Amino acid sequence: MNFFNRMIHKMYSLRFHVALLILLTGILPCIIIVNLFFYYFEQRSLHSEEIGISSQAQLLSNQIVTTGYLADPTISSVNTQLNTLGNIYSGRIMVIDSNMRVVKDTYNMYDGRTIVWTNVIQSASGALCSYYDADNHCIIVTVPITDPTDNTTIDGVLLVNKTTGTLEQNMEYYRSIGTIMILIVFILSTIMALVFSRNMTLPIHRMADRIGHMAKGVSHQELEEHGFTELRHMAEAFNSFADAMYKVDESRQEFVSNVSHELKTPLTSMKVLADSINSMGDGVPVELYQEFMGDITNEIDRETQIINDLLSLVRMDKSGANLNIAPVNLNELIELILKRLKPIAEKQEVELVMESFRPVTVEIDEVKFSLAISNLIENGIKYNKHGGFVHVSINADHRYCYIRVEDSGMGIPEESLDFIFERFYRVDKSHSREIGGTGLGLAITKNAINMHHGEIKVASVLGEGTTFDVRVPLNYIQQEVTES
């Protein structure tokens, strides 16, 4: 990663954003407050300066009128006052008559000249004007010279220019204090930003490291977090997720070992049978060969049956597997299944009875659903006694359809009821094997029902019979498939 990419990477980090936020919330208000303070402080100081200057100018203007200074600018008492004020203000004072002609300039530069300046013209019309010249560091105030006894006649304008050096020096002083304050806040904010952003992001890094460590399979430890509440919640959620993954992995391993075992059994039998034939030597009757070959064929059929069941199960297991949902007449479907299973039932001398309370149409994947119900009915036949029955009934309400498969067979022991839907679980292994069971039928049924968002329940009395109750929504609900 080059420098540029590293910078981009850092800029997208949570730490950078947290640090930036703390820095900005610290420094921005400080800059705004300091600048606002200086702005209003300057405005206020200038305003009070203007008030002071204009009241002095007002006094002088009265004196100019009463002494008749405009007609005789040599009056020494007024000149002294003008010069004194000019010195106090470190500035300049001009007395201008109504023709805009400078009668007196304390700098003696503009005497006799005509002044044309907006503020002077406005003051000649009676206005009091002031102007702050920041470049030349001075305030210029112009006041009309009016007769105090007769306020309507304006005889001229008095212009007072005061140097604002002291004010600016003060401002400069406060400004440097403000800058130091901003700098201190900046340094403190930076330290806080670095410390807090590190404290906030460190547990996340720690957590990520541990998750990475666990993902490598180095250890199956619990993720512990004692820091922020949110992170503790995250750790808890992760722990339950890891637990679920661990269970999935365990059940996968168990499944693989079961599959291997189940597939190995017919192969071992075939090998034993083949070895036996080989070891018999010459002169073995043909009937014996035929019998052995018949047994080998049976084992091959069994192997095929296991593989077919496994394939069905895998297809059902795929979450979100493609379901071909369509409205199906349930009564016709069950009739068809019973028709297909009739030969097996007759062979076992088991009576198949169907009872329908009403015609039911349900949205299902016909193939997968048929397989599920076939397995139940087939089990009812397989695990039955001669002369027994399998009773299938169909019912529905406004939301669900109900299918009940009831048999008069051997029943299932209570302690096995919780396990019969597990893959490869068989109550009586040897008996189930004898009658061609693979232990996958009910697992396939349960998966298929789950895919239709349905439910399956079992009740059984040992020696009397078993009842499977299936409930499936009439209208297929499009949502995530919940795994069993």
Contact segment (CB under 6 A) with ligand ADP among 123-131, 207-215, 318-326, 423-431 equals: 423-431
Taking the complex as a whole, the smallest distance from the CB of residue 428 to ligand ADP amounts, in Å, to 6
Please tell me the distance from the alpha carbon of residue 191 to that of residue 177, in angstroms, as a whole number. Answer: 21
Which listed residue (466, 470, 471, 476) binds ligand ADP by CB under 6 A?
A: 466
Binding residues among 357-396 for ligand ADP as defined by CB under 6 A: 375, 379-380, 383
Determine if 131 is a binding residue for ligand ADP (CB under 6 A): no
Q: Is 302 in the site for ligand ADP (CB under 6 A)?
A: no
Q: In angstroms, give the least distance from the CB of 298 to ligand ADP.
A: 16
Rounded to a whole number of angstroms, the minimum distance from the CB of residue 412 to ligand ADP is 5
Q: Compute φ and ψ for 133, nearest 5 degrees.
A: -100, 95
In the numeric block, which tokens belong to residue 232? Answer: 């503790």
Distance CA 204, CA 199 (A): 10
* Least Å from the CB of residue 410 to ligand ADP: 5
Give 277: exposed, middle or buried? Use CB within 10 Å, 0-12, 13-18, 19+. Answer: middle
- Among 140, 145, 323, 412, which residue interacts with ligand ADP (rule: CB under 6 A)? 412
Q: Which is nearer to ligand ADP, 201 or 305 (CB)?
A: 305
CB 472 within 8 A of CB 404: no
Among 34, 103, 270, 427, binds ligand ADP (CB under 6 A): 427
Stretch that binds ligand ADP, among 66-74, 107-115, 336-344, 438-446 (CB under 6 A): 438-446
Q: Report the chain's C-alpha Rg in angstroms.
A: 52
Among 420, 449, 470, 472, binds ligand ADP (CB under 6 A): 420
Interface positions, 16-35, toward ligand ADP (CB under 6 A): none
- Using the contact rule CB under 6 A, the part of the chain among 17-25, 63-71, 82-90, 441-449 near ligand ADP is 441-449
Select 282 or 434, whichever has its Cβ closest to ligand ADP: 434
Residue whose C-beta lies closest to ligand ADP: 437
Nearest in space to 154 (alpha carbons), one of 70, 76, 55, 56: 70
Q: Are 23 and 190 in contact (CB under 8 A)?
A: yes
Per CB under 6 A, 409 contacts ligand ADP: yes
The helix/strand/coil state of 411 is: coil
Interface characters, 442-461, with ligand ADP (x: CB under 6 A):
xx------------------
Judge whether 139 and 58 are in contact, CB under 8 Å: no
Question: Taking the C-alpha atoms of 178, 183, 186 and 188 in order, what is their torsion angle to the nearest 10 degrees?
Answer: -100
Select from 410, 393, 411 the least CA-distant residue to 402: 393
* Nearer to ligand ADP (CB atom), residue 228 or residue 419: 419
Encoded tokens for 86:
């000019």
Of 144 and 409, which has the nearer Cβ to ligand ADP? Answer: 409
Contact yes or no for 62/209 (Cβ under 8 A): no
- Interface with ligand ADP (CB under 6 A), residue total 23
Cα of 177 vs its chain's centroid, Å: 45
Say whether residue 162 binds ligand ADP (CB under 6 A).
no
Q: Residue 309 CB, nearest distance to ligand ADP (Å)? A: 7
Q: Which stretch binds ligand ADP (CB under 6 A): 1-9, 254-262, 330-338, 434-442?
A: 434-442
Contact window for ligand ADP (CB under 6 A) among 113-121, 205-213, 285-293, 426-434: 426-434
- Residues 147, 65: contact at Cβ < 8 Å? yes
The stretch near ligand ADP (CB under 6 A) out of 160-168, 183-191, 440-448, 475-483 is 440-448
Nearer to ligand ADP, 237 or 459 (CB): 459
Tokens describing residue 335: 């009739």
Torsion of CA 108, 112, 115, 121, to 10 degrees: 110
Task: Please say which residue, 287 or 434, places its beta carbon nearer to ligand ADP.
Answer: 434
Residues 6+ apart with CB under 8 A from 58: 143
- Reference 420, options 440, 406, 405; nearest CA is 440
In the window 78-117, what residues touch ligand ADP (CB under 6 A)? none
DSSP 335-373: HHHHHHHHHHHHHTT-EEEEEESS--EEEEEHHHHHHHH
Q: Using the rule CB under 6 A, is 441 a contact of ligand ADP?
A: yes
Distance CA(430)–CA(482), nearest Å, equals 33
Q: Which of 247, 50, 199, 38 is nearest to 132 (CA)?
A: 50
* Least Cβ distance, residue 375 to ligand ADP (angstroms): 6
Q: Which is nearer to ligand ADP, 42 or 303 (CB)?
A: 303
Given the complex with ligand ADP, which of 30 and 443 has the nearer CB atom? 443
How is residue 370 written in tokens? 């048929």
- Neighbour count for residue 167 (Cβ, 10 Å): 18
**Which of 104, 162, 391, 426 is in the footprint of ligand ADP by CB under 6 A?**
426
Interacting residues with ligand ADP (CB under 6 A): 375, 379-380, 383, 407, 409-412, 420, 425-428, 432, 437-443, 466
